[in-house]
Amino acid sequence: MNVMADTRPLDVLADFPAIHPGWHYLDTAATSQKPQAVIDAIARAYGETYATVHRGVYQRSADMTLAYEAARKRVARFIGAEGREIVFVRGATEAINLVARCWAGEQLKAGDRILLSTLEHHSNIVPWQMVAERIGAAIDIVALTDDGRIDLDAMAAMITPQHKMVALAQVSNVLGSVLDARRAADIAHLVGAKILLDGCQAVPRMPVDVRALDCDFYVFSGHKLYGPTGIGVLWGRYDLLDAMPPYQGGGSMIDRVSFAKTTYAPPPGRFEAGTPHIVGALGLHAAIDYVESTGLDRIHAHEAALVEATRERLGQINSVRLFGPEDSAGIVSFAVEGVHPHDVATILDESQVAIRAGHHCAQPLMDALGVPATARASFGVYNSLADVEALASGIERVTRIFG
C-alpha cells in the first residue's frame, strides 16, 4: 500500500485549530480534538446567549432551556432513542455508576451474578465490583478470542439465570475490537438479564441505534465524540429509568419537597440534580451535528483504511508486536520488543507524534495479554496516512536508539 496517499473522505484538518502543521495527533481514543464549530457553539453559549435553564421566567432563560432540551432531543435522534430516555451526566463513568447504584443496587440480591469481559475499561469494572461487594453478588468474566474479541460463544455457554446484568464495551479502547452487540443482547435476554453497552469508542466511529441493538442501557462520553469534557449520556429504556430511585438529591430532580416527604420528578429530570452542564450539552449538540454532517459511515471507512495501513506498515518492523484484530475500529495497540511503551511514546513525542502509552485503564486486559502496558495509536476524522508514516518512521527511530 502506498502510505503517502491521502484517503481522508473529507479535507477536515482545517476545522481543528489545535492540530498544528507537523503535529501528528494519534490519541483520539483518549480524547478527541474539537472542531471549530464546537468551539464556536461553546463560546456563544458562554457569551451572548448564556443563562440558566429550567428556572428563569425571563426570555433568555427560556431560550437557553429550549436549546438545552433541543440538545437532549438531538442526542436521542443520534442513537435512535426518545428524549425522555436521555440522561445528561458528566461522562460514561458517571453513567455506569448511576446504573450500578440505582438499578443493580436496587434489583440485585445476594447470590445474583454480573457478567463482564476481560477487555473492559476500569469504569466498566469497578462500579460493578462496588455494588457486588455491597450486596453479595458475584462477577464472572467472559474471555477473549485469539484475536481479541469478546468470545460470545463462551458467553452463551457460561451465562445462567443467576446473571442479572451484563456490561460490555461495544468497541475496546485498547484493541479496537468490535462487539457483535445485538448477539450479546440476545444472549443476555435469553436468561432474563439486562445488558449495558459502553459506547464510548463506538459512537465517534459508527452509526448506533439502541433499538436495533436491543440493549437496556447505553452510555458514552461527549469528549470522545469531538465534543466538550464534562458531559456524557446515559440512555435507558424508560420503564427501567422510571423504576429507578434518584442517583443524587438536590434541585431540579424533585416533584415536591417537604420535611415530611419528598417526591421525585420523572426521568430524566430525576437523575439530573443541580444546575446541569448547560454549555456542555450545547457543545455536544454541535459535535453530533459535525459528525453526522461528515458521515459516520465515511468516518468508519476512513479510520478502517488508516488501521489497515498502520498494521501493514508496523508489521514490516520486526521488533513490533501488534495486538487486536486486523479490522479494529480506529485503534491499534502495539509493543516494541525490549522498549517500555512510555519510552516509545517519549521518543515519538520528540518527532511530534502523540500517542498513548500505559495500561489504558484496562489492567486485567494487560494481564491477559501478558504485558504491563502497550503503546496505542488511535485515529480520528482529522488523521491521514501522513500520520501513519510519521508514526512508523518514529518507531523505526525508537528501534535504532535501543538497538
Give the span between the Cα atoms of 92 and 337, in whole angstroms.
34
3-state secondary structure of 75: helix
Which residue among the candidates 102, 200, 215, 361 is catalytic per the annotation? 361
User: Is-contact 186 217, C-beta < 8 A?
Assistant: no
Chain Cα centroid distance, residue 236: 16
Alpha-carbon dihedral 389, 393, 395, 401, rounded to 10 degrees: -170
Separation of alpha carbons 201 and 331, rounded Å: 9
Residue 200 appears among annotated catalytic residues: no
Q: Residues with Cβ < 8 Å from 346, sequence gap 6 or more?
A: none
Answer yes or no: are the C-beta atoms of 349 and 105 closer than 8 Å: no
Strands (E), 191-272: 194-198, 217-221, 232-236, 254-257, 262-264
Contact criterion met (CB below 8 Å) for 92 and 232: yes
Tally of residues, the chain = 403
Residue 192 burial (CB < 10 Å; 0-12/13-18/19+)?
exposed
The set of catalytic residues is: 361
